[in-house]
Homo-oligomer: A and B are copies of this chain.
Amino acid sequence: MSLDIDSALQLRRNQSLTSIIRHELEQMIERGELSAGERLNENALAARLGVSRGPIREACRGLEQSGLVNVVVNRGVFIRALDGREAAELYEIRAALYGLAGRLLAPIVTDEQVAILSGYVAEMDAAMAAGDLNSFYPGNLRFHEAIVEFGGNGRLAAECAAIHREMHLLRRRTLDMPGRMTTSNDEHRAILERIAARDAVGAEAALEEHVLISRSALFGPLGHYPDT
């Protein structure tokens, strides 16, 4: 019984099975338990989670709209596989959105928020010193989340989170590359510096560049992508 759906049911107050299942599936995709291209068997999922197929189908429609799965009529839902072109496109969009987040945040950032962001960078420095990717990754995630949260545009934060979920499989691969951790944290420091200086244009540029460098780490310096 790898899945604690029962405890989720106990915690459930005003949530429907559909939303619980959707959240569960999102996490399974994020944890890599469901790999790209894999098909979701509605009956098996229903049996495993102890519910009927209705809520599962509803959850899958939500996942489809948020880009995590593909639904093929009469054949089922498949964990979406990001090909090179789509991933490159997502990186471009992500760069623009994070750039916007930085531009919004820089003029209004508080000293407390700067301190929090500094804390994340320090966390990542520590993880880097220990060569520990598993510690580096959450710090990295919180750093970016905080920037969009503090920016004050809630919808932008939601949109960035959605894109992040969608790119999850790719992103880990990128950060896994040797030397990527240190480079990445240098960039984080530069971003933080521009934000702390209340430099909107500089923060925007630093964040855009940061995302595009991640893309380069995946596709090569020219932004090429595999033709698959």
B residues near A58, Cβ cutoff 8 Å: 57-58, 61
Provided the pairs A5-B37, A16-B73, A97-B96 are in contact, do residues A155 and B66 lie with their beta carbons within 8 angstroms?
Answer: no
* Copies per assembly: 2
B residues near A86, Cβ cutoff 8 Å: 154-155
Chain A binding surface SS class: helix
B residues near A64, Cβ cutoff 8 Å: 62
Q: Which of A51-102 contact B (CB under 8 A)?
A: 54, 57-59, 61-66, 70, 72-75, 78, 81, 85-86, 89-90, 92-93, 96-97, 99-100
Tell me the nearest residue of chain B to A86, going by C-beta.
B155
Rounded to whole angstroms, the CA-CA distance of A18 and B73 in the bound complex is 10
Query: When each residue 5-25 of chain A gets 1 if its CB lies under 8 Å from chain B and 0 otherwise, what string results?
Result: 100110111111011000000
Provided the pairs A8-B75, A12-B72 are in contact, do residues A100 and B89 lie with their beta carbons within 8 angstroms?
Answer: no
Rounded to whole angstroms, the CA-CA distance of A5 and B40 in the bound complex is 13
B residues near A9, Cβ cutoff 8 Å: 70, 72
Tell me the nearest residue of chain B to A95, going by C-beta.
B100
Tell me the nearest residue of chain B to A65, going by C-beta.
B65
Pick the contact of A61: B61, B78, B93 (CB < 8 A): B61
Rounded to whole angstroms, the CA-CA distance of A96 and B63 in the bound complex is 25
Provided the pairs A62-B65, A97-B93 are in contact, do residues A5 and B153 lie with their beta carbons within 8 angstroms?
Answer: no
Seed contacts A61-B62, A92-B100, A93-B155; 7 additional CB < 8 Å A-B pairs: A4-B37, A5-B37, A11-B72, A19-B73, A57-B58, A58-B61, A92-B156
